[in-house]
A and B are shown apart, each in its own frame.
Chain A
Amino acid sequence: MPDLPVGSILQVVRAPHPVLATAGIEVDPRDPAIVQLAADLLATQVVSPGCVGLAAQQVGVAARVFSVDVSGHPKTKICHGAFVLCNAVIESATRKERGREGCMSVPDFTGDVARARRLVVRGQLPVTGEWVTIETDGFEAVALQHEIDHTDGLVFLDRVAGPHAVHPRRTYL
């Protein structure tokens, strides 16, 4: 990952905010505003407990940018650390399994979603605009699909497996 400026902590929007249902526009990863957005996403993610990814839509911007960092998560196998991708697309997705996922923008619920556990994603790094290919598995693969969905204007509720696949989120007192 190229060096990023100091990021600001942004407010995370919640469903049913319309930006979460808005597909993001393609961005220029070298644009200083996008570089700053990348830094802000990582800065906001880092201070949000349990957050392993954050998309531009979640901070109110309908753009194809997201951050991911699954470092240290107990479910993580392959891990690429903290990074931001712009204009990411899924090249291949295989070995679907169902898991239960939550989202900072849907704080009251979790949902059972079937997602690929083997994934190849192509996207551009901020600052340089370099195209990179990320091949990953397991939890990082799930996080990437969740964030790419956000950039397409989808939340996990648009993927849940059935009428009884949405659950109240457990709260820890």
Chain B
Amino acid sequence: MTHTAKLTAVSETRSETSGHPEHHVLAVTVIGDDRPGIIAELTAALASVGGNLEDSTMTLLRGHFAMVVLARTDATVGEVEVALAPLGESGELSVDVRAVRTREASGMPSADHSAYLLRVHGADRPGIVAAMAGVVAQHHGNIVDLGTRLGTDLYILMAEVVLPSGVDPELLRSDLARVARELGVDASLSDVVDDLL
């Protein structure tokens, strides 16, 4: 499998640069036809090579199973691929394993950043996400969580946006409203407030 060879090469390169092979973090991506038992089989296979699960996300995208999980393990990419091979044997699931750089940051905004929820919905047409994400990027906003849905005629975009300090959310709100009008969709940007109890 040339694919495997390529992934192994990536793994080796990143392991060398990190300098902490004992802190090897692998990203495992699984995409394909949904059926009961995928997560049980995936996590059992990772456990069998000493994988300790870290962050993960899984959802169904119009019936397609889609999951990414980070696992910390001493096993190589090749060893993990061998352990996961039965999962992809039927051809209904595509499994990808690759090393990722170890990051201490959790990805959550720091205290001087502010989080907002962008909600967009309207008639489906090409370019809604590109246009709205483009506005966010122009204002140096970072999309840290995104979900989109397509209904019969309706397209929905929900995104959590983190703004660095010094960026005026009112200017972003105004530009989002202008682009939303041009697209013929409804858009709003509301504060995400953490209640620390």
Q: Indicate if the CB atoms of B152 and A107 lie closer than 8 Å.
A: yes
Per-position 1/0 for B112-124, Cβ under 8 A of A: 0000010101110
Q: Indicate if the CB atoms of B154 and A16 lie closer than 8 Å.
A: yes
What is the size, in residues, of chain B's interface with A at 8 Å between Cβ atoms?
Answer: 22
Interface, chain B (partner A; CB < 8 A) = 59-60, 117, 119, 121-123, 145-147, 149, 151-154, 156, 158-160, 185-186, 188
The listed residue with most A CB atoms (<10 A of its CB), out of B60, B145, B160, B186, is B186
- By DSSP majority rule, is chain B's interface helix, strand, loop, or mixed? strand
Which A58-83 residues have C-beta < 8 A from chain B? none
Q: Indicate if the CB atoms of A162 and B158 lie closer than 8 Å.
A: yes
Closest residue of A by beta carbon distance from B157:
A163
**Interface range, A side:** 10 to 19
Whole-angstrom distance between the alpha carbons of A107 and B154 in the complex?
A: 10
Q: Indicate if the CB atoms of A16 and B117 lie closer than 8 Å.
A: no
Q: Indicate if the CB atoms of A108 and B151 lie closer than 8 Å.
A: yes
Interface, chain A (partner B; CB < 8 A) = 14-16, 21, 106-109, 155, 157-158, 160, 162-166, 168
Closest residue of B by beta carbon distance from A161:
B117
Q: Are A16 and B122 CB-contacts (below 8 A) given A109-B149, A163-B145?
A: yes
Q: Are A16 and B185 CB-contacts (below 8 A) given A162-B158, A163-B160?
A: yes
Whole-angstrom distance between the alpha carbons of A163 and B143 in the complex?
A: 10
